[in-house]
Amino acid sequence: MNAWMRHDSPLGDLLVVASERGICGLYFEQHKYFTGVQGKENPEYPLLRSAAVQLDEYFGRARTRFELPLDLRGTPFQLQVWEGLQQIPFGAVSTYGEQARQAGRSRAVRAVGAAIGRNPVCIIVPCHRVLSATGALAGYAGGLERKRYLLALEQRA
């Protein structure tokens, strides 16, 4: 059974969802692909409390890497792409093409982009660090303003 909580951030409320195995959801308000949450609201659930502390540290520029167990749910291809996102260092950026090559599918840039867009654990699985081939901001399920904010936060840290 999932537990969830709302957590205030500089980018608005975040919905954090955890299973017994790990964090399985982190969504902004009006998140493009949010389909709802099942389970019980429980802000005292230890894993959710840990996530809240680490998110606050991240936004306060005191954390550059999350240390939370994840319970990512997706297709094998999506899981592979999301694993690749976790390899992008704090403060660095990648492109959709680079992520496609990293996944061993250099011609599948659009499929990789679609998988990145379906990332269920934003910020912690840093899909905001992926840019277009020209370096422009492109696609972010939480909105481009939030992506811009997150990239600037990491550049200033």
Q: Give the contacts of 28 (CB within 8 A, at least 6 positions apart).
A: 11, 12, 13, 14, 122, 141, 142, 143, 146
| Whether 24 is catalytic | no
| Cβ-contact 41, 1 below 8 angstroms | no
Which of 15, 24, 127, 141 is catalytic? The answer is 127
15 beta partners: 6, 27
| Cβ-contact 4, 15 below 8 angstroms | yes
Catalytic residues: 127
